[in-house]
Amino acid sequence: MSTSADTIDEFVSSDYKYGFITDIESESLEPGLNEDVIQFISAKKDEPEWLLEWRLKAFRHFEKMENPTWPHVKYPPVNFQEISYYSAPKKKGDGPKSLDEVDPKLLETYEKLGVPLHERARLAGVAVDAVFDSESIGTTFKEDLAKAGVIFCPISEAVREHPELVRKYIGTVVPYTDNYYAALNSAVFSDGSFVYIPKGTRCPMELSTYFRINAANTGQFERTLIVAEESSHVSYLEGCTAPMRDENQLHAAVVELVALDNAEIKYSTVQNWYPGDEEGRGGIYNFVTKRGICKTNAKISWTQVETGSAITWKYPSVILQGNNSIGEFYSIALTNKAQQADTGTKMVHIGKNTRSTIISKGISAGKGQNSYRGLVQVGKKASNARNFSQCDSLLIGNKCGAHTFPYIEAKNPTASIEHEATTSKIGEDQIFYCNQRGLETQDAVNMIVNGFCKEVFRELPMEFAVEAQKLLDVSLEGSVG
Amino acid sequence: MLEIKNLQARIDEKQILKGINLSVKSGEVHAIMGPNGSGKSTLASVLAGREGYDITDGEVLLQGNDILEMSPEERAREGVFLAFQYPVEIPGVNSTYFLRSAVNQIRKHRGDEELDAMKFLKLVKTKMKELGLAEEFLKRPVNAGFSGGEKKRNEILQMTMLDPSLAVLDETDSGLDIDALRIVADGVNRLKNQNNAQIVITHYQRLLDYIVPDFVHVLYDGCIIKSGDKTLAHDLEEKGYDWLIKDS
Ligand SMILES: Nc1ncnc2c1ncn2[C@@H]1O[C@H](COP(=O)(O)OP(=O)(O)OP(=O)(O)O)[C@@H](O)[C@H]1O
Ligand SMILES: [Mg+2]
């Protein structure tokens, strides 16, 4: 019989079932980062002059900045000159005008990923924008949405078709000066989704973007902008996967949300980029800036299930500028194998009676390192601001780690801030107890982990909650011997 | 039913079981008594297949099958149930969900149809009523925040639901009030039939007034040093263990 310690630490590789590569001819830019590259991307996308200017300003700013070292993650320096900043499936002629003209290989790829795009099999009640490397390859249900006045399209298309909207909002929530990777993204962003919900409109269906990295040595730098006009409502979901490769790949996205008076945006993420192997070879560097701004009575809710990526570095945040506005952050972050995650949120209370809730569930298995980092800031004028934070960590085995870095800055004496944190471990005795009742070890672990994450699953749109739960189970496969 | 032959086990180089021989037939109740640290819980753990023990010699046959090679879950499915001396808390996992999963794993193994949520609920509520347990238990996470006595009663509920062929109860009576003691005894007596057997580990004769054993064994320093009928328990209550230890 083996001893108890090595059973729980014995990690067998779980198969990453999204690790395949689509064999498709693509047009990729030579690796390298300079102003010519930015000119090329901008020209490729037929951008107006102001946007090129903005990109160049961002790039010049980026060059003056340094890679941040404060996150609790370790990785060799990224060589930005070795990355290709543009890769897209080669188009025949003018490129596809509708989904029917899209290369069948691409449609097949999304089908394999469980996101069918063609008419017959479209996900009921969900409109999908499919982004493949640097380009959006198509958006479903566009006409239906247009009837409601909702704009849902690739951001590159929005720049051409709705320049005034993009220009008005881009960079207003996350300026290019914000941080190193936001500056890089602003300079080289390729595609992403744009959403506009008109005043008083409730978006008639879930919107979702599916990001797929395929090409080797390329980075994905998507930019998403969601504008919810007064008294509108939208629920948006993003999913992400990438092939298994031994080299690390960079994904540096920016997401900006604008919720005007009385509007509500619910943004959910199921992130399953390739996590790399047990030794930490390969996997995606997921360095993302996500932030939303709430005007009066508005509400922004972030829900994330982060199971993939070699390194995750992201803090979906809410600026509670308007009085009575609400910010929420619900997060499950799982690190298995050699994954590292430093994730959390910032809730910035500026308006009066603003409220925020933070529920973070970190699961560490294998040699995974999981950090929660959160800032609750209450400004001078934010009287009666309230925050509740709950950060729980669950450890599986003895080689992983969990860390919490909560920061509180309150400048208004009427603020009420509550912070609770727990760390627990799936113990040998719990597993044995379950085994003794006839349950397999893996089922026992899944049961315990799912129980641990319940509060967050509840926040996901129904269609995705089941999916996310399965994903968590798969990601934990082999996490115990 | 159960045949334990010269069972020897050690943990961290320390020999704890030093050659246990025990034969339990269907329909029988055996009581195991013995001073603290004599190896009673170790025996129960080894029977249930807890990891970390080195089985240095001997064999354990359940209905003729060697169970030492089986994983704990396989043994459970073969009908071994252990009521823990210290039941484990599993926060976040709903008791109903947990118990239904367990019941269905075992039913599947036996070739019985799995129970859907409705059928399961009906069954569990009937059993709880029989045992005099509050339904409120089902809504809470497994053992989380349960009082000592509640945990023990929950073990009996699980035993009742899983209908084991061999139940090992490790000090299920310790820390129970009189009512709870009756519930536990009642659970065992209801379970008892000609096709199963129970091993009851206890320090107190009073449990044996309710669960009348066919045999009583005294475990001391990893060996069974004395076996007898129920009167042995009375003698122990009166005289303690010293007189036996001197003899051995
Ligand atoms: N993990 C371990 N490492 C070292 N010694 C152990 C370990 N587990 C049990 N022991 C020792 O084995 C011996 C038998 O323990 P066991 O728990 O089986 O006794 P018990 O008869 O059930 O006692 P009690 O009546 O107090 O419940 C004790 O001396 C105990 O300290
Ligand atoms: Mg004991």
ipTM of this model? Answer: 0.96
Beta-carbon neighbours within 5 Å of ion ligand 2: B 40-41, 85
> Is B125 within a domain?
no
Collapse the DSSP code of B234 into the 3-class scheme (helix H, G, I; strand E, B; otherwise coil) and give the result: helix
Q: What chain B residue is nearest to A8 in terms of C-alpha separation?
A: B51
From atom 9 of ligand 1, which residue's Cα is the shortest distance away?
A: B42
Structure tokens at B214: 């066919």
pLDDT at A402 over 90: yes
pLDDT at A125 over 70: no
Q: Taking Cα atoms as reference points, which of B199, B201, B182 lies closest to residue B190?
A: B182
Rounded to a whole number, what is the distance in Å from the CA of A434 to chain B's nearest CA? 8
Could you count the other beta carbons within 10 Å of the beta carbon of residue B246? 7
Structure tokens at A343: 């994730």
Q: Taking Cα atoms as reference points, which of A294, A337, A351 lies closest to residue A317?
A: A294
Contacts of A258 (CB under 8 A, 6+ apart): A169, A172, A173, A225, A226, A227, A228, A292, A293
pLDDT digits over A421-480, tens only?
A: 999 999 899 999 999 999 999 899 999 999 999 889 888 887 778 778 888 887 887 666
> Is B239 within a domain?
yes
Across A252-256, A295-299, A306-310, least confident range: A306-310
> Is B98 within a domain?
no
Among the ranges A206-210, A309-313, B56-60, which has the highest mean pLDDT value?
Answer: B56-60
The torsion of the CA quartet A463, A468, A473, A477, rounded to 10 degrees, works out to 130
> With an 8 Å Cβ cutoff, are B73 and A440 in contact?
yes
Task: Name the domain count of chain B.
Answer: 1
Atom of ligand 1 minimally distant from the CA of B34: 21
Across A22-31, A75-84, A109-118, least confident range: A109-118
Q: What chain B residue is nearest to A440 in terms of C-alpha separation?
A: B73
Residue A102 backbone phi and psi in degrees, to 5: -70, 140
Could you count the other beta carbons within 10 Å of the beta carbon of residue A27? 15
End-to-end CA distance of chain B: 28
> Is B197 within a domain?
yes
- Contacts B151 to A, Cβ<8 Å: none
What is the mean predicted confidence (pLDDT) over A83-88?
Answer: 84
Q: Taking Cα atoms as reference points, which of A79, A198, A436 lies closest to residue B155?
A: A436
Collapse the DSSP code of B88 into the 3-class scheme (helix H, G, I; strand E, B; otherwise coil) and give the result: coil
Q: At what angle do helices A49-63 and A35-44 cross, to 10 degrees?
A: 150
A interface with B, Cβ–Cβ below 8 Å? 1-4, 7, 424, 427-430, 432-441, 443, 447-448, 450-452, 454
Structure tokens at B123: 């069954």
Across A9-23, A298-312, A371-385, B34-48, least confident range: A9-23
Cα gap A361→A358, rounded to integer Å: 10
Mean pLDDT of chain A: 87
- Contacts A430 to B, Cβ<8 Å: 88-90
DSSP string, A117-154: -SGGGPPTTEEEEEEETTEEEEESSHHHHHHTT-EEEE
Structure confidence at residue A471 (pLDDT): 81
- Whichever domain contains B227, its CATH number is 3.40.50.300
Q: What is the Rg, in whole angstroms, of the alpha carbon atoms belonging to chain B?
A: 18
pLDDT at A142 over 60: yes
SS (H, E, C) chain B: CEEEEEEEEEECCEEEEEEEEEEECCCCEEEEECCCCCCHHHHHHHHHCCCCCEEEEEEEEECCEECCCCCHHHHHHCCEEEECCCCCCEEEEEHHHHHHHHHHHHHHHHCCCCCCHHHHHHHHHHHHHHHCCCHHHHHCEECCCCCHHHHHHHHHHHHHHHCCCEEEEECCCCCCCHHHHHHHHHHHHHHCCCCCEEEEECCCHHHHHHCCCCEEEEEECCEEEEEECCHHHHHHHHHCCHHHHHHC
Structure tokens at B4: 């334990």
Q: Which residue has the higher pLDDT, A417 or A119?
A: A417
Q: Taking Cα atoms as reference points, which of B3, B5, B48, B65 lies closest to residue B30?
A: B3
Number of helical H runs and strand E runs in chain A? 11, 23
pLDDT digits over A154-188, tens only?
A: 899 999 999 999 999 999 999 999 999 999 999 99
Structure confidence at residue B219 (pLDDT): 95
- Contacts A393 to B, Cβ<8 Å: none
> Is B100 within a domain?
no
Residue B10 backbone phi and psi in degrees, to 5: -135, 160
Dihedral over Cα of B122, B123, B124, B130: its sign: positive
From the list A4, A437, A451, the residue facing B92 with the nearest CB is A451
Beta bridge partners of B30: B199, B215
- Please identify which residue in the block is written with the tokens 């609790």: A72
Q: Is B194 in the pocket of ligand 1 (CB under 6 A)?
A: no
Determine which helix (DSSP H) or strand (DSSP E) holds B167, and give its type and residue range.
strand B166-170
Confidence of residue A121 (pLDDT cuts 50, 70, 90): low
pLDDT by 10s per residue, chain B, length 248:
999 999 999 999 899 999 999 999 999 999 999 999 999 999 999 999 999 999 999 999 999 999 999 999 999 999 999 999 999 999 999 999 999 999 999 999 999 999 999 999 999 999 999 888 888 888 999 999 998 888 999 999 999 999 999 999 999 998 888 888 988 899 999 999 999 999 999 999 889 999 999 999 999 999 999 999 999 988 888 888 888 887 66
> Is B231 within a domain?
yes
What is the mean predicted confidence (pLDDT) over A313-334?
Answer: 96
Collapse the DSSP code of A103 into the 3-class scheme (helix H, G, I; strand E, B; otherwise coil) and give the result: coil
> Is B242 within a domain?
yes
Residue B232 per-residue DSSP state: H
Cα gap A481→A474, rounded to integer Å: 15
Atom of ligand 1 minimally distant from the CA of B38: 21
> Is B164 within a domain?
yes
Structure confidence at residue A3 (pLDDT): 32
Structure confidence at residue A480 (pLDDT): 65
A299-306 vs A264-271, strand pairing mode: parallel
- Best mutation site among B8, B10, B36, B199 for ligand 1 pocket (most ligand atoms within 8 Å of CB): B36
Confidence of residue A6 (pLDDT cuts 50, 70, 90): very low
**Residue A215: CA atoms inside 13 Å, Cβ hemisphere, count?**
25
Confidence of residue A189 (pLDDT cuts 50, 70, 90): very high
